[in-house]
């Protein structure tokens, strides 16, 4: 149980294009999902909190127009990196909190983004 998937697992794109990453909770409903980015040998940095049916809450310093988040259902949240640039290259990871349980967030496998 508590499986979270992400798609795609890796993507290479040209500078200026937009990339959409999907996060799905496969066997539970998640009212809240979280998006993180992680640079090599560093910890996870929270980018935003995604709540089903409402606007995402962004952390300080994260551009909401750059990183568009949509949480359309209890099992799906998407992150769109708009007009991607090389500095956006990173490992993007989502997590989901099981609405039926308290506490633990379960993480997806991550998406490696490389912007050329």
Partner 1 sequence: GESVGLHLPTLSVQEGDNSIINCAYSNSASDYFIWYKQESGKGPQFIIDIRSNMDKRQGQRVTVLLNKTVKHLSLQIAATQPGDSAVYFCAENIGGGGNKLTFGTGTQLKVEL
Q: Does 29 bind partner 1 (CB under 8 A)?
A: no
Closest distance to partner 1 from the beta carbon of 38 (Å): 9
Question: Token digits for 82?
Answer: 């708009």
Closest distance to partner 1 from the beta carbon of 73 (Å): 19
Q: How many CA atoms within 13 Å lie on the side-chain side of 58?
A: 13
Bridge partner residues of 25 (DSSP): 4
Q: Does 43 bind partner 1 (CB under 8 A)?
A: yes
Size of the site for partner 1 (CB under 8 A): 27
Q: Does 68 bind partner 1 (CB under 8 A)?
A: no
CB nearer partner 1, residue 26 or residue 104: 104
3-state secondary structure the chain: CCCEEEECCEEEECCCCCEEEEEEECCCCEEEEEEEEECCCCCCEEEEEEECCCCCEECCCCCCCCEEEEEEECCEEEEEECCCCHHHCEEEEEEEEECCCCCCEEECCCEEEEEC
Q: Which of residues 77-116 bind partner 1 (CB under 8 A)?
A: 87, 93, 95, 97, 102-110, 112
Q: Which of 7, 20, 29, 49 binds partner 1 (CB under 8 A)?
A: 49
Binding site for partner 1 (CB under 8 A): 2, 4, 6, 32, 34, 39-44, 46, 49, 87, 93, 95, 97, 102-110, 112
């Amino acid at each position: 149980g508590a499986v979270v998937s992400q798609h795609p697992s890796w993507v290479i794109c040209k500078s200026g294009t937009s990339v959409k990453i999907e996060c799905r909770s496969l066997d539970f409903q998640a009212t809240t999902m979280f998006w993180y980015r992680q640079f090599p040998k560093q910890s996870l940095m929270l980018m935003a909190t995604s709540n089903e049916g409402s606007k995402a809450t962004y952390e300080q310093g994260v551009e909401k127009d750059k990183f568009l988040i949509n949480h359309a259902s209890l099992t799906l949240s998407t992150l769109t990196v708009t007009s991607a640039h090389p500095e956006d290259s990173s490992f993007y990871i989502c997590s989901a909190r099981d609405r039926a349980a308290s506490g633990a967030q379960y993480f997806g496998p991550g998406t490696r983004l490389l912007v050329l």
